[in-house]
Structure 1
Amino acid sequence: MAAASLMRSAFSGLIRKSTTIKTPVVCRLSTVALQQKYHTVKTIAKLYNTSDLQNGVSRSRQYATGPVRKVTPQDIADRVMKKPQFVRNYSHGPPLTIDIIKSRVLLVLQLFDKVNPEKLSLESHFIQDLGLDSLDHVEVIMAMEDEFGFEIPDGDAERLLRPKDIVQYICDKEDIFE
């Protein structure tokens, strides 16, 4: 297929239409180019016919060179029942309690740059007590999403204005009760 298109392009380059003469003119450079392309096509065809691959499939058969033992039913069972090694089994993290959630929420808030750790408590309001603006509130919610591994919808995030609200929301989401 490639050889046919190569030959077609070579022949189309050979004949050049002249604007002054009504008959096609054969260009000497086109003739040289045709001879070079013809040589290339012959070389490729020779390599293609002598290689072991025909249409991308090997023509030669491969045989075992060493001693071959008979396959036993146990070998077959081992191959079939063998679990693949590329599968990972994950488990849940340690069980969450309300105290663990409270400590993780407070730790994330203490590590937040714009929060003063002395003013921080479970009852402190993000905007009124801690002086955070709406963008800081969004960053706090994103930090909580990263900490606990789930997404908090925007409608729910607008109602989470205190650390106590975040703790209660996470407890409800994870089905944790006292």
Structure 2
Amino acid sequence: MFPSSAARTAASRLATRVLVSSSSRAPSVAAASVAQQPSLMAVRYFASVSANEYVMSTFLPPAEVQERILTVVKNFDKVDPTKVTATSKFSEDLGLDSLDAVEMVMAIEDEFAIEIPDAEADRIASVSDAVEYVAGHPMAK
């Protein structure tokens, strides 16, 4: 049962009296909670998800990430831009050696303003690996 409008008005007056009477003293917890209005805030949940929800768990859209990574790879000076595809492997398809692959990962780090740990960077051997890693990274911009 909901309170009547008279009860709501009485409660509002009581809250006003509490605020007015406590204004000369240090504010109490009750007065502070009455004075503040609840604010809207965004909540991001960091939890494991099922395979069906994988697309929902990414932080940047995979299509945008793929487009930006393809641009980075095509602009790399030791890569022939005509050979770059979404499934290109750095060493096999693009002819990059291990040092060039490290430089490629560094260029991707710069593009998305993230830092990829060495252990993770060693696992990134293709454009699709890079897209998967960056799309799931919470700090990628």
TM (normalized to structure 1)? Answer: 0.44
Aligned with residue 99 of structure 1, among 54, 63, 70: 63
Q: Please, what is the CA RMSD of the aligned residues?
A: 1.8
> After superposition, where does 1:1-178 map in structure 2 within 5 Å?
96-174=60-138
Distance across 1 between alignment mates of 2:102 and 2:114? 15
How far has the Cα of 1:160 moved from its partner? 0.4
* Cα-to-partner distance string for 1:16-73 (whole Å, 9 max, x where unaligned): xxxxxxxxxxxxxxxxxxxxxxxxxxxxxxxxxxxxxxxxxxxxxxxxxxxxxxxxxx
After superposing on structure 2, the runs of 4+ consecutive aligned residues of structure 1 that deviate more than 6 Å are none
Larger radius of gyration: 1
Relative contact order, higher structure (CA 8 A, sep 6+): 2
Structure with more strand by fraction: 1
What stretches of structure 1 of length at least 5 have no aligned partner?
Answer: 1-94
TM (normalized to structure 2)? Answer: 0.55
How far has the Cα of 1:96 moved from its partner? 3.0
Contact 2:90 2:125 in 1 (8 A): yes
Distance across 1 between alignment mates of 2:89 and 2:121? 14
